Amino acid sequence: MPHTTSAEHQAGIATRVWALAWPMILANLSVPLLGLVDTAILGHLSDSRYLSAVAISTSLLAFLYWGFGFLRMGTTGASAQLLNKPKDANALLLKAAALSLVIAFLIWIVGLALSNIGLQLMNTPDSLLDLARSYLHIRLFSAPAVLCTYVIVGWLIGRQQTRWPLIIAVTTNGVNIGLDWLFIIGLDMSSDGAALASAIAEYCGLIIGLWAVRDAIIASLHQGLRYSWQYGPALKQLLNSNIHLFVRTAALLFSFSFFTAQGATFGEATLAANAILLQLMLVSAYGMDGFAHAAEALIGDAFAQGKRDELTRICLCCARYCVATAVVASVLLWLGEGQVLGLMTDIDAVRLVASAHYNWLILLPILCAPSYLLDGVFIGALKTQAMQWSMLASVVLIYLPVWLLTKELGNHGLWLSFCAFNLARSLSLCLVFKSSILKPLS
């Protein structure tokens, strides 16, 4: 057997990382692209109320849906560590999907009952309440599709099958964009049209996802559901390992919702401008997340097999890609400010506010890059407790205190605190990387 040099080994890792990452980059970029299309269409309507109402409602939906993002992340880490155990992996998919449907039903019931309270907590102006409530109620009907798709996508990433998540994302977002034009422009349904388009598209995505995992479902049915239920991690273990991800994600979503709620106190134009800038931030975030997803799949397998050197090489390779992507994103945002803002809205008041705060957006990709990548590393290794404490510390010790100290700066103070929060996330995860990830393999 020929000897493999270190350089060849590193090149092989780079090839594997890129093969897993590029479908996820395209899939991830389609998510903020959808948000950008929604924002651009609503931003060109005659009244900024529609865009503002959707910004508030989507922040609440993020709490209700992405608060259970552990269904995607936890399934990815567990699936990656079961790469060579197909029966256990199939059982994991079955249990996680069943859990997602139970949670979706609870979200639907609780969301409809408490929507008014949630909108009040978001400082929703009276002029936006009816629009925001209607959007929220329509989107809640897609909860089963959203959460079950989380599980399917997470399972596929862990199995190193990242092209299917790309197909799911492109189908979902393509249908959504097409229906946006039909419902918002063609049928003049404004924000309700955006909600209905998203709900229908999410069920289309679920159908594609079920087709992608059909072999695993058929295998479980052939074995018998009771027999399959005995394989893989116990449901209790699945819940216990993911509680940290739930807390971490809830804290992250609080930071975004708090940002939106505080922006609402500065008026509708500022609220709409912040929504546009956040959507633009997500473009770079989701691009870098492609390498984080590759890390999740490869780190999970390497960690399960105790391959410390392999794990280190994977981390270094993903880090180089991630940093390069962050720099490119910041440069493109800097060069394209006028064109980007002109594309997003033709409401002068909104564009002026967005332009005044645009430099914060340029800075964010570089501040966020380490945290995005290390999230993937910690998820793959299922070291989720460190992620939880890092996020809580960044919110409680950095984000909120900085915001309190800079309130007199208005919306600039809000952006300063948000940037400080993201920097704290990156630094804190870097500090615990060695003790949480490398030390257990020593």
Residue 423 lies in a domain: yes
Q: What is the pLDDT of residues 98-109, one digit of tens each?
A: 888 998 888 888
pTM assigned to the model: 0.80
Q: Residue 189: pLDDT above 80?
A: no
Q: What is the pLDDT of residues 359-403, one digit of tens each?
A: 999 999 999 999 999 998 998 888 888 899 999 999 999 999 999
* 6-10, 168-172, 218-222, 406-410: least confident range: 6-10
Q: What is the pLDDT of residues 12-62, one digit of tens each?
A: 777 887 888 778 777 766 665 655 566 667 666 656 666 666 766 676 776
* pLDDT, mean over the chain: 82
Domain range enclosing 66:
6-441
Residue 259 lies in a domain: yes
Residue 430 lies in a domain: yes
More confident residue, 279 or 191: 279
Dihedral of alpha carbons 260, 262, 268, 274, sign: negative
Q: What is the pLDDT of residues 238-285, one digit of tens each?
A: 676 678 888 888 898 889 888 988 988 888 889 888 988 988 887 778
Q: Please tell me the distance from the alpha carbon of residue 373 to that of residue 249, in angstroms, as a whole number.
A: 16
Q: Please tell me the distance from the alpha carbon of residue 159 to that of residue 86, in angstroms, as a whole number.
A: 9
Nearest to 138 by CA among 54, 17, 261: 54
Residue 1 lies in a domain: no
Judge contact between 437 and 377, C-beta under 8 A: yes
pLDDT band, residue 1 (cuts 50/70/90):
very low
Q: What is the pLDDT of residues 393-433, one digit of tens each?
A: 999 999 999 999 999 999 999 999 999 999 999 999 999 98
Residue 328 lies in a domain: yes
Nearest to 322 by CA among 278, 287, 280, 363: 287
Residue 155 lies in a domain: yes
Q: Residue 116: pLDDT above 80?
A: no
Judge contact between 48 and 191, C-beta under 8 A: no
Q: State the pLDDT at residue 78.
A: 84
Q: Please tell me the distance from the alpha carbon of residue 238 to that of residue 90, in angstroms, as a whole number.
A: 14
Residue 353 lies in a domain: yes
Q: Residue 123: pLDDT above 70?
A: no
Tell me the one-letter amino acid at 230.
Q
Q: Residue 206: pLDDT above 60?
A: yes
Tell me the one-letter amino acid at 105.
F
Q: State the pLDDT at residue 40.
A: 67
Give the count of domains, the chain.
1
Q: Please tell me the distance from the alpha carbon of residue 16 to that of residue 167, in angstroms, as a whole number.
A: 20
